[in-house]
Structures are given as structure tokens and as C-alpha cells.
Amino acid sequence: MALERTQALRRCLERIDDARERLERSGDGETEVVARNLLSALMDLHGLALARALTLAQSGAGGDALAQRFVEDDYVAAVLLLHGLHPEAPETRLQKKLSSMRPYWGVRGFRVELLAVERGAAKARVHWDDAVGEAERSGILREIEHVLTDAAPDLDLISLEEAEANPIHARTPASTLMAQP
């Protein structure tokens, strides 16, 4: 179910990007201006309504719990991000995603450490187990980048570095894997 929701959300976002690109390529300047103004007005209206909905939700009993449910829903979180209203910082979202992926990635022979999030960019380090071959690593790096980009699409850059020969068996306690300033 969650995978279907993620795929549906990704298709919707791809349709938006495709329409935007087609509009830019159309060559009809007047139509492009009218379409951009219409889109801008709709985005403003939705942004104002969402901000108000969040305020109303948080002002009532159980409001913080309701706001947290909004953040945990892929669709609502994507729209909140689109409008710059997501209440969680990119670093928090990345840390949550890394924590949720840690068991899955650990059994596959690697772990990811968030090093820093600043000025619209994140930097993470991948620690490999000796069993992970060179041929597998590029695909895994693309997977990690994709997962982190989904968690924080509002960042301009997510860079990955590979740790020096440091087997996964010499794990750092999870409490020390927090982003460093």
C-alpha cells in the first residue's frame, strides 16, 4: 500500500514537471505568462489554505498529534514541502529516513551516516561491509541518493562519500550518527 502511494505521488509530481517543461518549450510567450500567473495564484491560494489548516489543527485538542499525522502522510508532506510549510527541518527528515532504513540496509552490508545539513545541501557517508562488491556499490549509491532525495526534496544537493576501509562490523552507536555541525 505504501509503495503504491509513493508511486502514485511520484507519477503526479512527474506530470507536473512534464507540464512545466512542455509549457517552457511551447514558444508561446503570452500563454506561458498566463499559465504561470494562473499557477502562481493557485499555489498562493493553496499555500494560504494549508497554513491556515495547520494553524487550526494545532490550536485544537490533539492538534500536535494531527499535525504529526500530516507530516507522516506522503501526499500531505509533499504538498507541505511544495509550499515551504513542512514543520520538520530537512535534517530531521533525513535522520528519520536513515533510522527507518538502517535495519534494511544493515543486512545488505552497508550503513549511511548523515554528516551535515547546511545551506540547502546535505552530506552523508556510506560505510561498506567487506562483502559488498565494487560492482554493487554504484547501484546502492543511486538507491541511497534516491531515498534521501525523497526524504528532503527541498534540498538543492545531496552528496555521498564513501568511507575509507571501515567494516560495518565496527559500528558506531546510533546515538553518535546524528548530523554534526
CA dihedral 131, 133, 139, 142 (to 10 degrees): 70
- In whole angstroms, what is the distance from residue 127 CA to residue 140 CA? 12
Domains of the chain in start order, with CATH, are: 2-82 (no CATH), 90-176 (3.30.300.130)
pLDDT digits (tens, 9 = 90+) for 63-91: 778 878 888 887 888 888 888 888 889 99
For position 116, what pLDDT does the model report?
A: 94
